Structure 1
Amino acid sequence: MSRLLEGRVAIVTGAGRGIGRAHALELAAHGAKVVVNDYGVSLAGEGTGETPAQEVVNEIVERGGQAVVNGADVADFEAAAAMVQQAIDTFGGLDILVNNAGFVRDRMLVNTSEEEWDAVVRVHLKGHFAPLRHAGAYWRAEAKEGRQRAARVINTSSGAGLQGSVGQATYSAAKAGIAGLTLVAAQELGRYGVTVNAIAPVAKTRMTEGAFDTSGMALPEDNSPIVAWLASEEAGDVTGRVIEIDGGKITVEDGWRHGPSDDKGSRWEAAEVGPALRKLLAEAPAPEPVYGA
């Protein structure tokens, strides 16, 4: 295997199992030193007392790599700061942040409780924001001191957030938020040498098993080579993109764009809106179907 990431330092959140575990192993195999973060929770986000992150670290070390465990709740602002600092203190810096941690509590919209909404949005959306905010501040400081790093962020969105998914209103909203966060962060952090992209992975994991037929789905590790390349110095010209991965198929997602428009030049009257808007809708491409529709 190539040493695409030789000497680079990475954090992978939610790396104890599934896709995150596969990412951590792939990055380490390419030479990265990895902070393996996992809070040790159930599929629904409840504490289990398990330490799957240590098992991943052990596997990396047995293969000749370098890795350490981090047990932070990534949506805890101070814990996320400490996680970034751990990478810096342990390995001398930080080059790569892979935001992956998350869980699901699937419900139809009218059955979703406030607690379920808050929990899912917290771990996915705030759990992306907090590590990214602290890593971004570090990279900005490094750049201002003349030590600009070829930093890379890979966030984790989902087809549910891009096209929507019946029975996953909360998860879809959080994942859509991550796609929006990716676009803004790419613009704001680019001046410091940071690229920010997102993937929309398809894989058979704890989060998908039981929800629908996963027999033909890709494996978690099928997503990780794309993450490894995006994390490399070679990928410095790719930023602000969302890339769907489904086994051997990669797709650059084409998100919200300005479509057909009609500028009246003055305030619209309500009675005029229907005909004008229907004409524009007839000219616009039909939206992609929501998953499960």
Structure 2
Amino acid sequence: MGKTVTEATNQNSLSIDEMEAIDIVTLMLEEDRHIQEGIQKSLTTIAEAVELIVDKWQHGARVFVAGAGTSGRIGVLDAVELGPTFSIDPHRWIAFIAGGKNAMWEPLEQHEDSASDIVQELQQLEFNENDVLIAISASGTTPYSLAALTYAKEKQASSISISCNHQTISSELSDVGIELIVGPEVIRGSTRLKAGTAQKIAINMISTATMVKLGKVYQNEMIDMQLINNKLVKRAETMLRQLTNLNEQEAKELMNETNNDVKLSIIIAKTGCDKNVAEKYLNKANNHVKKAILLFEMDQKD
């Protein structure tokens, strides 16, 4: 294993226990600048992770995220938002944290050594070679995450790891090893700080870019969000008006016609086609609205 940056002593914070509050938070802000540097150097591998997931997803893959402690909580936090934001099946992007659901609220970090737990959880859900595993571990050596990666390798499934050290075991076990080097923490070993923030950014990038590539965003709008209350339906109608030339009444009527399907509504408003034709072109474009509109326009020219 390479150098353990996450456990190193930060020379800039040796006197943090003598500082005034303003000096502590100023130092923390200065140290956080290393987060962007670490992310910047990892953009290529983060993009590789996105492309891997998109390819596998289009062939029916599920994504499983595993982590312990802060890393596990970050994975869960990201995963639970994907359903309401992008309307994905919650059984297709699943996050596990060492110690189970209670570990989201209680300090159950002792479970990070429970290597067998994650294997059992994956087995119960019939994790297989068609799926993708994302293991999050600041050190890159957490037994819980390593067990998940090892099991993925045994099942010949695709795997991605996110860690904050050089040349980690996690990276060795992964198809895509993302190493976010952000330097020692201001409190030695407290990876809920820079490492945690960097991991949060990386998993947000991976999940968001994946959803964009899967056609769940038009321009920069969430066109696949779950319209589960009146406020969100109203937001969708406003979105439709902003993206098209429809007035308020027209937008409301079109949303009713498509049963609140924003994608179909956009295509109909942009092209003037009916619902059946819009569905045909959306399917043809693999659920990408812009591509569907372009395909329709190209066919009209022929």
Specify if TM > 0.5: no
TM-score, L = length of structure 1:
0.32
Instruction: Report the structure number with the largest CA radius of gyration.
Output: 2
Q: Name the structure with the higher helix share.
A: 2
Higher RCO (C-alpha 8 Å, min separation 6): 2
